[in-house]
Structure 1
Amino acid sequence: MRSEDDFELPVEGKLPAGLSGTLYRNGPNPQFEPRDANYHWFVGDGMLHAFTLGQGKVTYRNRWVRTNKWRLEHDAGQALFGSWGNPMTTDPSVMGAESGVANTNIVQHAGRLLALEEAHAPFQISGPELDSIGSFDLGGKVTAHPKTCPLTGEMVFFAYADDPMPLSSKVSWGVADATGKLLKRETFEAPYCSMIHDFAVTRDHVVIPVLPLTGSLQRAMAGKPAFAWEPEKGGQLAVMRRDQGVASLRWIEAPKGYVFHVMNAYDEGETIIVDVMRYASAPLFPNADGTRGENAAAYLVRWTIDLTTGTVTETPLDDLAGEFPRFDERLSGLPYRHGWFVGQSLKPGDFRANIIAHIDLETGQRTDWTVPAGDAISEAVFTPASPDAPEGEGWLTAVVYRGQLNFSELVVLNAQDVAAGPVASAKLPRRAPFGFHGNWVNA
């Protein structure tokens, strides 16, 4: 049902005839002024955006995710919860209450639309209405980047700090079948509490990177950062077989640095190939003593994990700083050729993406499209031209903020010809807050 704040957007260019469905996007947008002096952008309330395309038209709707936290604060007319669940800055009236924000990603599995974040259960949404339904039970926390296996239809997921005690070193992983039924959930102890945003899944393996962006309740209670960069702790990769789980767990030393996002991964004989956006140090977070950290940039690299020797070799794949890697997810966990990411050619420490890049991993060739100075691009989401189209043949959808004019617009690009720029665009009636992740769902 349409409401007064739904909009049919004016379209420039021609929308692809076969592109029919909805681009969903998620990101943090606090409902009220935060309580914490050390408030972090990552913990704002989830806000969803739905761009529905079909018959040459684009309609737009956006809603907050009405989590338990959102409802309690909405009724109170003020913020009640501290950042990262910090008890020192949480109002006593809500101590122990469900505090999820569902602000990082939105995925569809088994016909359910799920808003996801780092530290709570998935939150189910109706699509494209964006009505809040409630928590979806997969046995506990699920982080923002589950992987759907194209061979089995299973959704493989993980969670870090998976313990009632905040900022614990426990990590879980699990599998839900193609209907959404939980098949397996196991927990193991990591060397320390690490912020683990993403992981890698292949046909046969799971790789969970435990890297030294550490969490510490003791540090948070002392008024210092809950999460901080501690490179001296080193990094480890938890490697397991999907069919054996924790019984097959082994630890392999990781290359130095930090990873927020994995592009894709696959098995190759006795090795696992994992393509990641790797930072020299974790950006956007301080050092353990509270001093400002280095805002390093990420670059696309390949980790080749040798299962025989238990070692990792790192190979650069491209020299453009960037983030939010995507690929043709019909090949999730399998050998692949085409990838996309948003690039940054601005001054160091400026994380606004101003480039959409396509990389051919077979030839090493990169092509890209750059927006004017002052503009910024969201993650670019790939959608195949048809279910049986060749790999990489399809469309990219992204949201561009036009800085000089202070509005946002949806853009559609040919995924194999990004240098040509958008084939169509649709202007929003207002600026869309910068967010994190999104996904396309066919009509």
Structure 2
Amino acid sequence: MKQYPDTPDFTGINAPIGEEYSLKNLEVEGEIPAEVRGAFYRAVPDPAFPPMFEDDTALSGDGMLSRLYFGPDGQVDFDIRFVETARHQAEVAAGKALFGRYRNPFTDDPSVDGVDRTVANTTPVWHGGRLLMTKEDGRAYEMNPHTLETLGSYDFGGVLKSETMTAHVRIDPATKEMFFFGYEADGLASSKVAYCIADREGTLTHEQWFDVPYCSMMHDFVITENYAVFPVYPTTADLERLKAGGDHWVHHMDLESWVGIMPRYGDVSEMRWFRGPKGVSTYHMMNCFEDEEGRVHMDHCMSNCNAFPFIQRASGLNVPPQELGGGLIRWTMDMTGSDDNLTQVTLGPPGDMPRIADKDQGRPYQRGWYLSVNPELKGPPLMGGVVGAEFNLLLRIEPDNGRIDAYAFPPLSGIHEPVHVPSARDGHEGWLISFVDMMQGEDDLYQGAWIFDAGNVAAGPVAKITIPHRLRPQVHGWWVPQAELDKSVRK
């Protein structure tokens, strides 16, 4: 194509920008908490060239890494740069798009046969003093956290065998080990999954492979103190469909979901599979933990169908966001029993982009945060993002008692996934930082980053940082405190 498609994935808030820039000493309204010192890294898909196919998805956009930096003196700066993947470099050299449909190499220009297709556009991951940009269709790319320079594809010093690495790792708060996996580990539409552990220094210490019931979009997973937990939902890939030039993902409403659970330091032969409901879909997990009775509780943002419009189209489905149903759901698996059943309860309303404090990872927890859509909104939502409309409600939930507090945005506004900044003060829940979009007039778009008291989100932001340059919607982010940046292996 010679120009970007006139579709929701490439217009409005989703219109491509494709510009690297730096902004210094940003305007701040309110007071930035003294504990907020460090960097908020964001993964932003942004296509450098018009796609080869008009029905392309925003998720195909080239990865860009942005950093909102809170300096020691309270000054706030913003920087954004492309991730110089092999794919991006090939297209820049050609001056046009060369890679075809989303995750389908059979639709690529022949000139890029065998070139790494990942756009590394989903999650920045900080571990062992390194910053990685991840997307689950390939290996990560290492980035310089100070300059945002791309350092190259990352395979843990040549040790990683899996061809893929999840965009959602889990870091144990006590051991500082990083647990992760890669699905389609040995190629397209494969049922092979690699389960991996890296120690606190980032050295890969374990890699085991196992088969899942079917090739599934396994976007996220969870750990407990003793288990690794692998949810499988019925959005599936098929090699013959890909070879015919079709879509990578199709969702099946009549196919069962599954949860595989194994000892996190055990052998994959110890995996137990639990059978879940048909047709459901989850992209992100809030948390997972064990209780004294030997049960594993997994809290996830579930919907009754896959939420992505481009996957629904490929599946012959048309379920609008307001009809997706679901909620913040708890699935419970009894590891002391012998059957494959699980139980389900609803903890909170539908939503996504959940967040907990890092210290609560894999442990019983008293609070979490996620985004939702306000059912009482008196006006239109802000259209944009990969699902079609942005979230406009920030929720704080106490899963044990069902208490929910919320901050509601006005019509034509949206909020992106928050990061959590811990507090050193006893009893203080820390801070949340989120990027915000607000239409204030027909051609007046405000964009910025807001800081909330995590224990009192309903009170509104304690500080607002204005970004005087248009931003494209992010996918996920990561908070790195200044003390960790100072220990970076890259200077």
TM-score (norm 2): 0.85
Task: Specify the alignment match of 1:123 in structure 2.
Answer: 141
Counterpart in the other structure of 1:294? 319
From 431, 434, 440, give the equivalent of 1:398: 434
**Aligned residue runs from structure 1 range 180-329, under 5 A:** 180-256=202-278, 257-268=280-291, 269-284=293-308, 285-287=310-312, 290-295=315-320, 296-307=324-335, 308=337, 309-319=339-349, 321-329=350-358
Kindly provide the amino acid, as one letter, of the partner of residue 354 in structure 1: N
- Give deviations 1:366-393, integer Å, cap 9, x for gaps: 111111111110001111112x754x61
1:9 to 26, 44, 49: 26
Determine if contact 1:27/1:436 at 8 Å carries over to the other structure: yes
User: Counterparts of 1:306 and 1:322 in 2: how far apart (Å)?
Assistant: 26
- Please tell me the residue identity of whatever aligns with 2:250: A
Q: Helix, strand or coil for the counterpart of 1:254?
A: strand
Q: Deviations over 1:383-432 (max 9, x none)?
A: 1112x754x61100000012232231010000001011110011111121
Measure the CA separation in 1 of the matches of 2:388 and 2:116: 34
Q: Which amino acid aligns with 2:247?
A: P
Gaps of 5+ in 1: none
SS in 2 for 1:9: coil
Please list, as runs of the form range in 1=range in 2, the aligned pairs for 1:136-175 lying within 5 A after superposition: 136-138=154-156, 139=160, 140=162, 141-164=164-187, 166-175=188-197
Picking from 68, 89, 93, the partner of 1:75 is 93
- 8 Å contact 1:209–1:254 — kept in the other structure? no
Deviates more, 1:278-287 or 1:368-377: 278-287
How many residues of Structure 1 are paired with residues of Structure 2 in the alignment? 437
Deviation of the 1:251 alpha carbon = 1.4
Which whole-Å CA distance do the structure 2 matches of 1:255 and 1:395 have between them? 36
1:63 is aligned to 2:87:
no
Residue 45 of structure 1, CA deviation? 0.9
Contact (CA 8 Å) 2:242, 2:248: kept in 1 or not? yes
Q: Distance in 1 between matches of 2:450 and 2:230?
A: 33
Distance 1:416 1:71, change over 3 A: same
What is the aligned partner in structure 2 of residue 355 from structure 1? 393
Distance 1:287 1:419, change over 3 A: closer
Residues 75 and 362 of structure 1: CA distance in aligned 2, closer, same or farther (over 3 Å): same
- Cα offset, 1:49, TM superposition: 1.4
Looking at structure 2, the residues matched to 368 and 163 of structure 1 have their Cα atoms a distance apart, in angstroms, of 43
Per-residue deviation, 1:297: 4.8
Q: Which residue of 2 aligns with 1:42?
A: 59
Q: 1:436 aligns with which of 468, 475, 480?
A: 475
> Match of 1:421?
460
Q: Which amino acid aligns with 2:437?
A: Y
CA spacing shift, 1:289–1:89, aligned 2, 3 Å: closer
Q: Retained in 2: the 8 A contact 1:229–1:288?
A: no
> Displacement of 1:53 after TM fit?
1.0
Tell me if structure 2 keeps the 8 A contact 1:401–1:431: no
Deviation, structure 1 residue 174: 0.7
The 3 A distance-change label for structure 1 pair 289 and 176 is closer
CA distance, structure 1, for counterparts of residue 97 and residue 261 of structure 2:
40
CA distance in 1, matches of 2:408, 2:275: 37
The residue matched to 2:151 in structure 1 has which SS? strand
2:363 aligned residue (313, 320, 334)? 334
The structural deviation recorded for 1:364 is 1.4
**CA distance, structure 2, for counterparts of residue 200 and residue 290 of structure 1:** 27
Over aligned residue pairs, what C-alpha RMSD do you find? 1.9
2:140·2:155 contact (CA, 8 Å) conserved in 1?
Answer: yes
**Cα separation, 2, equivalents of 1:18 and 1:107:** 21
Contact 2:39 2:67 in 1 (8 A): yes
Q: Following superposition, which runs of at least 4 residues in structure 1 exceed 6 angstroms of deviation?
A: none
1:327-367 deviation digits (Å, cap 9, x = unpaired) = 01111111111100011126897531001111122331111
CA contact (8 A) 2:107 2:245 kept: no
C-alpha distance 19-5 of structure 1, shift in aligned 2 (>3 A): closer
> Measured at CA, do residues 4 and 338 of structure 1 come closer, stay the same or move farther in structure 2, by a change above 3 Å?
closer
Aligned to 1:365: 403
Contact 1:326 1:340 in 2 (8 A): yes
Could you say if the C-alpha distance between residues 82 and 181 of structure 1 is closer, same or farther in structure 2, counting changes exceeding 3 Å? same
Letter of the 2:340 partner, please give it.
G
Per chain length, whose mean CA-contact separation is higher, i.e. which structure has more relative contact order (CA < 8 Å, sep 6+)? 2
CA shift for structure 1 position 283: 1.2
Matched position secondary structure for 1:69? helix
What is the CA–CA distance in structure 2 between the aligned matches of 1:304 and 1:85, rounded to whole Å? 33
Q: How many angstroms apart in 2 are the aligned matches of 1:325 and 1:4? A: 29
Give the distance between the partners of 2:363 and 2:416, measured in 1 at CA. Answer: 26
**After the TM superposition, which residues 83-98 of structure 1 pair with which residues of structure 2 at under 5 Å, given as runs?**
83-98=101-116
Aligned partner of 2:420 in structure 1 is 382
Q: Structure 1 residues 75 and 311, CA, compared in 2 at 3 Å: closer, same or farther?
A: same
- In 1: Cα distance, 2:458 partner to 2:94 partner: 49
Distance 1:340 1:71 in 2: 38
2: CA distance, partners of 1:25 / 1:324:
14
CA distance in structure 2 between the partners assigned to 1:111 and 1:87 by the alignment:
33
Following the alignment from structure 2 to structure 1, what is the Cα–Cα distance between the partners of residues 400 and 103? 45
- Identity %, equivalent residues: 34
- How far apart, CA to CA, are the structure 1 residues paired with 2:241 and 2:372? 34
What secondary structure is seen at the aligned counterpart in 2 of 1:185? strand
CA–CA separation in structure 2 for the residues paired with 1:398 and 1:371: 13
Q: CA deviation at 1:289?
A: 6.1
